[in-house]
Amino acid sequence: MALYLIGDIQGCDGPLQRLLDTIGFSPSRDTLVVLGDLVNRGPDSLAVLRRLMALGTSAHCLLGNHDLHLLAVAQSVRPAHRSDTLDGILAAPDRGALLDWVRQRPLALQVRGWLLVHAGVLPQWSTEQTLTLADEVSRLLRSAEGPDWLRSMYGNQPDRWDDGLHGPDRWRVVVNALTRLRFCNADGVMEFATKDSAGAAPPGFMPWFEVPGRRTADTPVAFGHWSTLGLLQRDRLLALDTGCVWGGCLSAARLRKPGSRHASGALDIVQVPCPQAQRPGG
């Protein structure tokens, strides 16, 4: 049984089908994990959701910032952006089932020793704390209070983690770190204005995975979200957003089995081209 990680799809259903065909994906044999941003900006977000839902337990999908945006727009707590491509989902006869499926997706997973998130992990968080906090917010989103909480989800403050945070401030920091983070400073203060490559860090800031003393440094981490970073493979680190919706590629990584000599590395990287040429964004 093969396990594949797939980077940001963002509504690009054609490339997703070509990628699954290229890797010879079999739902009866294989498993895939999509690292968030299933929808938006690409031409067919509705088809992406229906394809992934049809894979059942063979597909595990994380929530990304665009997926949360879909839930917020559907609840009329966030206006649609002019570049959104969510109308097909919002007008679908099975809209309720689609949105409920999205709402049930986790914010983080650990699979075969890998910590999987959409965007990043704050340097103060251990792997266990990351998973616990992600589950805390996931349970909130799935609860009766979830739609109301979406109203307070947005904002850049607080911009750092504190164990004493509670309520909306606590959950907002968790969501921002797991679905929006690119740069932070050595104290874990998050910076959200910069969307360029790792070399464009503002003064005093650095990519979250380069913070000295990061508590997840010994855990293999895979993430998406950062299209201007592109494919990045380091020891215990894998970035898989290769900018499909911006005219790049859609990428999959086949992970090594537990106990293999280099278990923290990806066995294969497979890419298919994506013809879309949108303006780069978050």
Ordered DSSP codes for 148-180:
HHGGG---S-S-S--TT--HHHHHHHHHHHHHH
Cα–Cα distance for residue pair 134/108, rounded to 1 Å: 6
Name the pairing type of β-strands 31-34 and 59-61. Answer: parallel
- What is the reported pLDDT for 251? 98
- What is the reported pLDDT for 1? 84
**Which string of DSSP letters, residue by residue, matches 250-274?**
EEEEEEPPTTSTTTTSEEEEEEEE-
Q: Which of 140, 135, 165, 136 is nearest to 150 (CA)?
A: 140
3-state DSSP helix/strand/coil % of the chain, to nearest 5? 35, 15, 50
Question: Which residues have a Cβ under 8 Å from the Cβ of 151 and sit 6 or more positions away?
Answer: 77
Question: Which residues have a Cβ under 8 Å from the Cβ of 265 and sit 6 or more positions away?
Answer: 233, 235, 256
- What is the reported pLDDT for 259? 52
- What is the reported pLDDT for 275? 79
38, 45 Cβ separation under 8 angstroms: yes
- What is the reported pLDDT for 257? 62
3-state secondary structure of 4: strand
49, 61 Cβ separation under 8 angstroms: no
Hey, CA dihedral for 137, 96, 246, 56, is it positive or negative? Answer: positive
Q: Which of 264, 266, 275, 214 is nearest to 240 (CA)?
A: 266
Q: 3-273 adopts what CATH topology? A: Purple Acid Phosphatase; chain A, domain 2 (3.60.21)
**Which string of DSSP letters, residue by residue, matches 33-85?**
EE-S--SSSSS-HHHHHHHHHHTGGGEEE---HHHHHHHHHHTTSSPPPTT--
Q: Encoding tokens for residue 237?
A: 């680190």
244, 10 Cβ separation under 8 angstroms: yes
Q: Exposure string (b/e) for 262-275, b if CB count within 10 Å is 16 or more?
A: eebbbeebbbbebe
- What is the reported pLDDT for 256? 75
Cα–Cα distance for residue pair 240/224, rounded to 1 Å: 5
3-state secondary structure of 221: strand
Written as tens digits, the pLDDT of the chain (282 aa) is 899 999 999 999 999 999 999 999 999 999 999 999 999 999 999 999 999 999 999 999 999 999 999 999 999 999 999 999 999 999 999 999 999 999 999 999 999 999 999 999 999 999 999 999 999 999 999 999 999 999 999 999 999 999 999 999 999 999 999 999 999 999 999 999 999 999 999 999 999 999 999 999 999 999 999 999 999 999 999 999 999 999 999 999 998 765 555 444 557 899 999 876 444 444
CA distances from 216 to 129, 154, 208, 256 (A): 10, 26, 11, 20
